[in-house]
Amino acid sequence: MGFAKTTCTLLFLWNLVLGPTIAKSAAEWRELSIYQVVTDRFATNDGSAPDCWIRSYCGGTWKGLENKLDYIQGMGFQAVWISPIIHNIEENTTWGYAYHGYWGDNPYKLNPHFGTPDDLKSLSTALHKRRMSLMVDIVINHLAANQKPDNVEYSRFPAPFNSKSSFHQPCDIDYANQSSVEDCWLTTTLPPLVDVKSEDASVVDIVKTYNVDGIRLDTARHVPKQYLAQFQDAVGVFVTGEALNESVPFVQQYQGPLDSAHNYPLWYALVDTFTGRTTFDYLAAIMKTEEAVFSDINVLTNFLDNHDQPRMASRVGDDLVRDKNAVTFLMFTSGIPVLYYGFEQRFDGSADPVNREPMWRSDYNTNATLYQYISKLHEIRDLASTTIEKSSYFSSYVKVLGTSTEYMALQRGPLVVVVSNVGVDGTNNSFNIAASDFAPGSTIIDLFSCSTVKVGKKGSFVSPPNEGEARKKEAFALKLPNKDGTDMKPLFLMEGVQHE
């Protein structure tokens, strides 16, 4: 099947490109938070801010991204997921150019629009020097051609893809039929996405040598599961797969063959909850089902936005408070938080492609409210996870302490998080938490306002409504007890967390 031959060639090629592997396991990834970028849209080589057509290359590069790692790390992220790196079709098409990277035509070459092999290697090294991790988006389901399905010039693809027999016959997907989802073509209109016969092992190792810490596997639901398992085995790094579906049992099928999957079922619930369309009971029910059904929810990749979906800010308008509550939940619930670039600048693009705005429009403003806020959330997360043993914090599941129409309280390790979905209008209702792990009689502190609350029987306490405009607007509170459960001292998060 050509497996060994392609493996050796590619190992050689990719080792040249990226240097030695620093593979990270699922257990290591679950302690990280990920920042997702579309390379073309994140930063240019020289820091310039060109105007561009939203469906063409805008000029972002790996070098540009490397130069902006301070910005990403300054918010607290420990990993960066970059869009696909391989060579793509060059032509303008019905849907514009391949700036996003999902229209590969040669997996053996890099996309020159994003830089040279040395540039990518340099990005990888720079991340590792900062103790950050690199996740690369990989597409094994298809290649692309800008010819009608019956006229695809297969000879233009490199071996072993240079013949029609390496691909399935063109057909349109019937989403009710899994064989059709796996074998038909994701798109048959121009430019068609030519479906690779992934079950041929020759393809597996194309990716084996991507010398990165983790992989985001595009279109996982379109690849037969036995092949996904082979792929996971072959690459030997953490893989999170994209199976775009609302159903928990459906997405669960992909954890096993792969380490992890994008938590699309949770995403649907988050959007509905934090835009105020559903109650917290609904979210709590999804969380409970996921806990029961998945083998490990802590390695699923959770998100509020991504490059395929309308951004949160496009749904909630001016209501920054909803964004704050949603991202608070994201950072403290079970699973790996993934933030799509620009969320912190309140980019509000709706459907693809306007949700892929050039980042330079924000001027990389580190004073932006959400930028500062997310960096604070990271500080709290670090504090909470190091107050107890870090690995036990990240392997434990968040516990829902209670819900009301306006609030949800969650406990994770030493922290209770109270989020609200009422938005900027706030609420005058307090929230009674009947039981928590806090010691009765101890004092707990709201990490944002520094106000304190006394814990009653069974760990019960009252989370007061926000007083005064600032708190009222935020409509949530975070509580953390001292290590020994005794009296608390304030933590001034604006000036950095103080442990004493």
Note if 242 is an active site residue. yes
Q: Is 95 in the site for ligand ABC (CB under 6 A)?
A: yes
- The sign of the torsion formed by the CA atoms of 434, 440, 446, 452 equals positive
Residue 245 or 375: which CB sits closer to ligand ABC? 245
Q: Name, in order, each residue with C-beta under 8 angstroms of 317's C-beta and a sequence gap of 6 or more.
A: none
Residues 1-60 that bind ligand ABC (CB under 6 A): none
User: In terms of C-beta density within 10 A (0-12 exposed, 13-18 middle, 19 or more buried), how is residue 344 classed?
Assistant: buried
Residue 294 or 476: which CB sits closer to ligand ABC? 294
Comparing CA positions, the residue from 382, 373, 387 lying closest to residue 476 is: 373
The residue annotated as part of the active site, out of 66, 213, 218, 319, is 218
Q: Is 308 in the site for ligand ABC (CB under 6 A)?
A: yes
Residue 143 or 410: which CB sits closer to ligand ABC? 143
Q: Is 219 in the site for ligand ABC (CB under 6 A)?
A: yes
Residue 242 or 406: which CB sits closer to ligand ABC? 242
The residues pairing with 443 across neighbouring beta strands, listed in sequence order, are 454
Q: Is 334 in the site for ligand ABC (CB under 6 A)?
A: no
Q: Give how far the C-alpha of residue 153 lies from the chain's centroid of Cα atoms, to the nearest Å.
A: 35
Residue 100 or 479: which CB sits closer to ligand ABC? 100
H helices within 152-258, ranges in order? 178-183, 204-208, 225-235, 248-252
Residues 184-213 that bind ligand ABC (CB under 6 A): 186-187
Residue 100 or 471: which CB sits closer to ligand ABC? 100
Q: How far is the CB of 458 from ligand ABC (least distance, A)?
A: 40
User: Rounded distance, CA 195 to CA 378, Å?
Assistant: 40
Q: Which helix (H) or strand (E) holds 79?
A: strand 79-82
User: Rounded distance, CA 339 to CA 346, Å?
Assistant: 12
Stretch that binds ligand ABC, among 154-162, 239-247, 270-278, 483-491 (CB under 6 A): 239-247
Q: Could you tell me if 205 and 3 are in contact, meaning their C-beta atoms sit under 8 angstroms apart?
A: yes
Residue 358 or 481: which CB sits closer to ligand ABC? 358
Report CA Rg, the chain.
23
Q: Is 102 in the site for ligand ABC (CB under 6 A)?
A: yes
Q: Is 218 in the site for ligand ABC (CB under 6 A)?
A: yes
Among 272, 352, 379, 437, binds ligand ABC (CB under 6 A): 352
Q: Is 245 in the site for ligand ABC (CB under 6 A)?
A: yes
Q: Which helix (H) or strand (E) holds 123?
A: helix 117-129
User: Rounded distance, CA 497 to CA 500, Å?
Assistant: 9
- The sign of the torsion formed by the CA atoms of 300, 260, 241, 61 equals positive
The residue annotated as part of the active site, out of 66, 119, 183, 242, is 242
> How far lies 434's CA from each of 217, 450, 461, in Å?
42, 22, 7
Tell how strand 461-463 and strand 452-454 pair up.
unpaired
Among 90, 153, 246, 467, binds ligand ABC (CB under 6 A): 246
Residues 394-433 that bind ligand ABC (CB under 6 A): none
Site string for ligand ABC, 167-186 (x = CB under 6 A): --------x----------x
Among 221, 378, 412, 479, binds ligand ABC (CB under 6 A): 221
141 known ligand binder: yes
User: In terms of C-beta density within 10 A (0-12 exposed, 13-18 middle, 19 or more buried), how is residue 279 classed?
Assistant: middle
Among 242, 344, 348, 474, binds ligand ABC (CB under 6 A): 242
Residues 134-153 that bind ligand ABC (CB under 6 A): 139
Q: Which two tokens stand for residue 22?
A: 């620093």
Q: How far is the CB of 282 from ligand ABC (least distance, A)?
A: 15
Write out the binding residues for substrate: 103, 142, 216, 308, 356
Write out the binding residues for Ca(2+): 141, 182, 195, 218, 222, 242
Q: Which residues here bind ligand ABC, judged by CB under 6 A?
A: 95, 100, 102, 139, 175, 186-187, 218-219, 221, 242, 244-246, 307-308, 352-353
Question: Would you please indicate which residues are annotated as catalytic (active-site) residues?
Answer: 218, 242
